[in-house]
Structure 1
Amino acid sequence: MSYPDETSADELQAIREQRLDVDLEMAAMTAVGDRIAELRRAGICTHGSTQGHRADPDLRPGQLRCTDTCKRVFASDEEWHAAMDAALDM
C-alpha cells in the first residue's frame, strides 16, 4: 500500500527490511534444525512427534506418547512441550 507522501525509496527500504526479517527467521529455523539433527546423532530423543489416546488405547485422554525413539508418555501437551524445550537446551 502506498501513501501520497511516500517515495519509491521508502518502498524499497521497506522491502529490504522485510527481506532481512525473513533471512533472520530462516537462520533461526535452520539453527534449530541443526540442533535437532545433532541431538539425534548423539542418540538423544527430541520428542518431535507424539500420538494421543485415540491412536493408542493404553493412554488416557490428554496423554501423549512420543513416537520418536523414547516412547515416553506425557501427561499433557504442556509436559510434552516442556520436554521438547529441555531436549533442545541440552
Structure 2
Amino acid sequence: MFYTDETAADAMEAAHERAREVDADADAMDRHADELHAHEARGFCSHFGTVGYLPTPVYAEQVGLKPGEHRCTGGCRTVFPSEAAWIKASTDPFAQPVKKVTKPGSTPLPAAQ
C-alpha cells in the first residue's frame, strides 16, 4: 500500500526492513533451540511438560501430587508447587539445571474396571 507522499523505493525499503527483522527473530529462535538441545544432550531437563494434580490420577506421575502441584514429564520428575513455578522453570531451564532421571513422557494408569 502506498501513501501519497511515499515512493515505491520507500515502500520496498520498509518491506525489506520487515523481512530483516523477521530473519533476525528466526535466527534468535534457532540459537535458543540449539542451546536447549545442547542442554538436554548434556543430560539436563528443559521442563517442557507437566502433569497436574487430579483427584483421580490418570497418569502414574500424578500419583501423590497435592492440589496445585505439577510434576515435570520432561525427564527430571521435579514436583513444582504451582503452575507458575513450572512456567518459571521452563522459561529458563539454565538458571537451575536439573539432571534427567528418566526418559521424557508420562505413563497412563490402567483404566478402572
Q: TM-score, normalised by structure 2?
A: 0.68
Q: Deviations along 1:13-66, whole A, 9 cap, x unmatched?
A: 111111111111111111111011101111001101112224535333432211
Determine the C-alpha separation between the residues in 1 that align with 2:67 and 2:2.
52
Cα distance in 2 for partners of 1:6, 1:44 equals 53
For 2:23 and 2:44, how far apart are their aligned partners in 1?
Answer: 29
Does 1:30 pair with 2:36? no
RMSD of aligned residue pairs (Cα, Å): 1.9
Bigger share in helix: 1
Q: Which has the larger Rg?
A: 2
Moved more, 47-56 or 33-42: 47-56
Larger mean CA deviation between 76-85 and 41-50 belongs to 76-85
For 2:88 and 2:24, locate their aligned partners in 1 and report how far apart those are by CA, in whole Å: 25
Matched AA of 1:87:
P
Higher RCO structure, 1 or 2 (CA under 8 Å, sep 6+): 2
Distance 1:10 1:60 in 2: 60
Q: Which ranges of structure 1 fall in alignment gaps of 5 or more residues?
A: none
Percent identity of paired positions between Structure 1 and Structure 2: 34
